[in-house]
Structure 1
Amino acid sequence: MNAHQDISTSGTHAAGPPDDVARTILTGGRLAHIDALRALALLGVIVMNIGSMVMAVNGRATFAAAGPTDLAAAAVDLILFQGKARSCFAFLFGAGFAILMLRSQTCGTGFPAFYARRMLVLLGFGLVNQVFLFWGDILVTYALLGFALIMVRHWAIDRLLKTGLALVLAPPLIAAALELAVGGPLPNLIETSRGAEAAAALAAYTSPSYADAVAQNIRTGLREFGVNTPHMTLYNLSVLGLFLLGAWSVRTGLLLDPAAHRRLLRRLAAIAIPIGSVLSVASSLPFLGVRATGAAHAAITAAYVGVPILAFGYLAAFALLLARRPSPPRRPSPLQAFLAPAGRMSLTNYLASGALGCWVFYGYGLGQLERLNLFGLTAVAVLLFVALALLSRLWLARFRQGPAEWLWRRLSGSA
């Protein structure tokens, strides 16, 4: 079976993309609407990361000084962005895996060895980011879970879909059922040291010493992976499930040619966005100061399924918005043209946003940690994304890849 056959006929109920889309993928070209989707996901990730740089360290004081506008901005970020942006990002990571596999089949490249190298390099990026740049790194998790994708590369389409949905939707419901059984939240070792750790983090990140920040970055990483057990388990299973669903969307052609699947995408957006929004409001209640116990706490835990559901709605709606035009000239819309370069350089922009944000807020840089309100944090994040998008366009006018993407490709070998 050749690569074009694989993309269009593997598994069941598969409808492949038109020949020009398949040709673009198999010859190493880019699909602008996927790059634009990745940029939108990156925007949400930057909004949440910029907020967490301050709120995770100085959240109590920031909330105490918040006015109505600040609280509204925080509620919008929590309900619309928290978890949803990184869910979209993970979904598109899985889609990228499937596209790389197709290209590798066409070139005759040994895909497992190539992808293992690629994940090892990504792991290196993540460790550097975690230690020296931003403590809230996601690349280490992506790299470690990415190795599992090698083992599912020959799965049928239906199996990818069913397993992906199970990993995304079942864990919050199982956790809620366990909470009901034990009569309270699941044990979490991280809770025993939260107050002391917050004080230590505030001291480290307001210190003018960069070495203090690096030491705190290491402690934060070890703490999150070592003792934040229920949260990390739910999150990691969800990420792996989203990887599988992203791969499924490429194998079926759904993500590759949204214009050919308008009816399905409209239905998905119409169902997932309202349901996901209601559930996301419920799952955000603890972050908004609402404390629940017993069955109410279990219900909030179960409502976490709204995070990926709303992400699916976002992906469907924006895929429709960014779908290529059905008649010539097939030029991208202004929105797609603005977003796509940022998506092509998503790794570079992700690393740069974390480094710049930490430099602005922490003591070894501009030291603005205690000076911005909640609304200001969101505004800074949006302006930072716009600046990175404009810089990406200028960079790609001269170079084929972003600097981090170039290094990733050189160290991994080509697909």
Structure 2
Amino acid sequence: MLDTMRGIAVLGILLMNITGFGLPYAYDNPTVWGANSATDLAVWRVMALFFEGTMRGLFTLLFGTSALLFLQRHAARANDLRPADLYFRRTLWLIVFGLVNGYVLLWSGDVLFYYGFAGLVLFVFRDLSPQRLLILAAVFMFFQTAISAGEWLDFHETQALAQAANERRAAGEPLADGDQEAIDAYAALQAEFQPARENLEAYVANVRDSYASAFAVLRGDTWFMQSVFFFRHGIVECFGMMLLGMALLKWGVLTGASSNRTYLAMIVIGYAIGLIVNAAEVRELEGGGFSAEAMMNALLTYDLGRIPMTLGHLGLIAIICRTPWLANAARAFAAVGQMALTNYLTQSLLCLFIFTGAGLAWYGQLARHELYYVVAAIWAIQLIWSPLWLRHFRYGPAEWLWRSLTYWRLQPMRGMERRPQAALLRTDR
């Protein structure tokens, strides 16, 4: 069940990431680039209603689960510091994978860097009861919303000062101290949500020209996401979802130990709340013409929509895993999930080749809906190659490397069925 969830999450996260891979600054605002038809806008609506933030949420939740499972497995084998040593080594190497994904594969939206840093702190919560973990998760989620509310207040304060200054200027009155600064600050905020077309065209040209020119512009985005945005939003969001994952694991929700009634309740309640909130956000954004003000207003309820939707998805996946006639599909997703790190990095590698000057240079060339043809192709590749690979090998390539770096020695790679029983007993020690 955990592998199936992880497989669906790693495939699903590409639904949202693909706009970052293929379009300039159009993730939140479809009018910036790549939305020239009713089909493009309809695709944006579907993603905003059902998937925005949820696959990332599911992926993050499952990372908290795997961190706890790793610690529990090794703590059962040793009473010394070795479990902690292995855990921190494993987590620090994940940060390195995140840096490679961001600066070599040029994916500024990488989450591995986030998970690595958050995972270092996650260690201290490993022995808490599920009730306490849930309370802490709720605190972090509330704090995340409070941060968004603070940004909303700052935006409206800047907006009000700029409007007052512009009114004085229009009336022929001299500008007061700070008026020009307020006007400039508000213009900069608006430019973040709706960049100038000439700037976007220059950005697209650089990404398409060569790997070196793409690196020159994308490294700035990666730096921002792994520094300013990480400390402003990413770290708090990670803690909330990871702690929730640890609580759900201890309650048995993520291992299939809960009843069908529990999973059905997660579906009904999660989707009811999530869809109502998300639909309101869609109306706000479209009604406001995707203006900076509309975007800030929608962010106020962002977590109130995406977290229930994430839990609804989780309940649905659990029901799928329990449905006999969907067993083959569940197994295919589980194979993808067993190679989640490899498949996540492979998505970045394939999109690097497809969209940047390192390959086909399709960046900014496809309409929003056309990006999902690329998604379907990558899904097909990963759903086919993951089971085939695991027939012959025990781990995905990236999982094998991560494991070897964690234990600081080469790990056995061949499939379990080809290895002698004595080798099985030595594994993971």
Conserved 8 A contact 1:91-1:245: yes
Residues 368-379 of structure 1 aligned to structure 2 (within 5 Å): 368-379=362-373
- In structure 1, the residue matched to 2:322 is 323
- In structure 2, the residue matched to 1:5 is none
Give, in whole Å, the separation in 2 of the partners of 1:188 and 1:136.
26
Give, in whole Å, the separation in 1 of the partners of 2:31 and 2:207.
16
Q: Does 1:403 align with 2:402?
A: no
Q: What letter matches 2:102 in structure 1?
A: Q
- In structure 2, the residue matched to 1:243 is 242
2:120 to 138, 147, 152: 147
In structure 1, the residue corresponding to 2:392 is in which secondary structure?
A: coil
- In structure 2, the residue matched to 1:220 is 221
Give, in angstroms, the shift of residue 169 of structure 1: 3.9
Structure 1 residues 201, 226: closer, same or farther in 2, change over 3 A?
A: farther
Give, in angstroms, the shift of residue 347 of structure 1: 0.4
Give, in whole Å, the separation in 1 of the partners of 2:188 and 2:54.
24
Give, in angstroms, the shift of residue 277 of structure 1: 1.4
Residues 1-400 of structure 1 aligned to structure 2 (within 5 Å): 33-56=1-24, 62-63=33-34, 66-108=36-78, 110-133=82-105, 134-173=107-146, 175-176=148-149, 179-180=152-153, 183-184=156-157, 191=189, 194=192, 195=195, 198=200, 201-207=203-209, 209-228=210-229, 233-258=232-257, 260-284=258-282, 289-291=289-291, 293=293, 297-298=296-297, 300-323=299-322, 333-400=327-394
Larger radius of gyration: 2
- In structure 1, the residue matched to 2:422 is none
Structure 1 residues 292, 56: closer, same or farther in 2, change over 3 A?
A: closer
Give, in angstroms, the shift of residue 311 of structure 1: 0.5
Partner deviation per Cα, 1:236-265 (whole Å, 9 max, x = no partner): 31221110111111112221124x322222
Conserved 8 A contact 2:144-2:233: yes
Normalised TM-score (structure 1):
0.81
Partner deviation per Cα, 1:89-119 (whole Å, 9 max, x = no partner): 0001111112112211222172221111011
Conserved 8 A contact 1:73-1:378: no
Structure 1 residues 247, 178: closer, same or farther in 2, change over 3 A?
A: same
Structure 1 residues 374, 297: closer, same or farther in 2, change over 3 A?
A: closer
In structure 2, the residue corresponding to 1:82 is in which secondary structure?
A: coil
Give, in angstroms, the shift of residue 393 of structure 1: 0.8
Q: What letter matches 2:3 in structure 1?
A: D
Give, in angstroms, the shift of residue 57 of structure 1: 5.1
- In structure 2, the residue matched to 1:26 is none
Give, in whole Å, the separation in 2 of the partners of 1:395 and 1:102.
28
Normalised TM-score (structure 2):
0.78
Q: What letter matches 1:360 in structure 2?
A: I
The alignment of Structure 1 onto Structure 2 pairs a total of residues equal to 372
Give, in angstroms, the shift of residue 202 of structure 1: 1.9
Conserved 8 A contact 2:24-2:364: no
Structure 1 residues 114, 321: closer, same or farther in 2, change over 3 A?
A: same
Give, in angstroms, the shift of residue 233 of structure 1: 2.5
In structure 1, the residue corresponding to 2:255 is in which secondary structure?
A: coil
Give, in whole Å, the separation in 1 of the partners of 2:269 and 2:244.
18
Q: What letter matches 1:91 in structure 2?
A: L
Give, in whole Å, the separation in 2 of the partners of 1:257 and 1:263.
12
Give, in whole Å, the separation in 2 of the partners of 1:53 and 1:35.
26
Q: What letter matches 1:405 in structure 2?
A: E
In structure 2, the residue corresponding to 1:107 is in which secondary structure?
A: coil
In structure 2, the residue corresponding to 1:404 is in which secondary structure?
A: helix
Structure 1 residues 300, 118: closer, same or farther in 2, change over 3 A?
A: closer
Partner deviation per Cα, 1:64-99 (whole Å, 9 max, x = no partner): 5x2222221122122222211100000011111121
Q: What letter matches 2:237 in structure 1?
A: S
Q: What letter matches 1:63 in structure 2?
A: G
Give, in angstroms, the shift of residue 304 of structure 1: 3.3
Partner deviation per Cα, 1:176-234 (whole Å, 9 max, x = no partner): 26735874589999848744774553232111x212222323211222344447xx623
Give, in angstroms, the shift of residue 303 of structure 1: 4.0
Give, in angstroms, the shift of residue 137 of structure 1: 1.1
Structure 1 residues 216, 393: closer, same or farther in 2, change over 3 A?
A: same
Structure 1 residues 255, 113: closer, same or farther in 2, change over 3 A?
A: same
Give, in whole Å, the separation in 2 of the partners of 1:343 and 1:124.
21
In structure 1, the residue corresponding to 2:369 is in which secondary structure?
A: helix
Give, in whole Å, the separation in 2 of the partners of 1:344 and 1:249.
20
Give, in whole Å, the separation in 2 of the partners of 1:130 and 1:48.
17
Conserved 8 A contact 1:177-1:298: no
Conserved 8 A contact 1:341-1:396: yes
In structure 1, the residue corresponding to 2:301 is in which secondary structure?
A: helix
Give, in angstroms, the shift of residue 154 of structure 1: 1.9
Conserved 8 A contact 2:14-2:375: yes
Give, in whole Å, the separation in 2 of the partners of 1:252 and 1:188.
47
Q: What letter matches 1:96 in structure 2?
A: S
In structure 1, the residue corresponding to 2:66 is in which secondary structure?
A: helix
In structure 1, the residue corresponding to 2:300 is in which secondary structure?
A: helix
Structure 1 residues 202, 350: closer, same or farther in 2, change over 3 A?
A: same
Conserved 8 A contact 2:148-2:299: no
Q: What letter matches 2:121 in structure 1?
A: A
Conserved 8 A contact 1:176-1:302: no
Conserved 8 A contact 1:53-1:357: yes
Q: What letter matches 1:114 in structure 2?
A: L
Conserved 8 A contact 1:396-1:402: yes
